[in-house]
């Protein structure tokens, strides 16, 4: 499955219970079409004590969100925006904001 976002992109959640939250993408699962956004969809996991975590306990971490529920965030527009692609003079391809034309890469 081809994704419109990649790791370390700044995105905003546009749908679901976490609507309006903004964060950096920590992980992308292309097979399931899901992303993990920093600070969004926090879930609690009960962890048994182990070598890395001697006391165990309840750990709070980010859960995954469907990639269709996030949009790239444009720092210039200060809005979640769709993006297009443009070739630069040196031949490299970059993503650009559809509203203002600012490069997002």
* DSSP letters for 80-103: EE-EEEEE-TTS-EEEEETTT--B
Mean pLDDT for the chain overall: 93
Give the pLDDT of residue 9: 94
Task: Answer whether residue 29 shows pLDDT above 90.
Answer: yes
pLDDT at position 4: 92
- What is the CATH number that goes with domain 10-80? 2.30.30.30
Rounded Cα distance between 32 and 11, Å, is 18
Of the ranges 13-17, 49-53, 79-83, which one carries the lowest mean pLDDT score? Answer: 49-53
User: What tens digit of pLDDT does each residue of 33-72 get?
Assistant: 999 999 999 999 999 998 988 888 999 999 999 999 999 9
Sketch the domain layout of the chain as residue ranges.
10-80
Cα–Cα distance for residue pair 68/96, rounded to 1 Å: 19
Q: What pTM was computed for the model?
A: 0.84
Judge contact between 5 and 21, C-beta under 8 A: no
- For 69, phi and psi rounded to 5 degrees? -95, 5
């Amino acid at each position: 499955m081809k994704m419109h976002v990649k790791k370390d992109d700044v995105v905003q959640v546009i749908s679901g219970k976490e609507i309006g939250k903004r964060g950096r993408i920590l992980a992308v699962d292309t097979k399931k079409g899901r992303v993990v956004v920093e600070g969004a969809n926090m879930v609690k996991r009960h962890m048994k004590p182990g070598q890395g975590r001697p006391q165990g306990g309840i750990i709070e971490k980010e859960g995954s969100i469907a990639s269709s529920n996030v949009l790239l965030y444009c720092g210039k527009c200060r809005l979640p925006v769709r993006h297009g692609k443009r070739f630069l003079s040196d031949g490299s391809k970059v993503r650009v904001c559809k509203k203002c034309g600012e490069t997002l890469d």
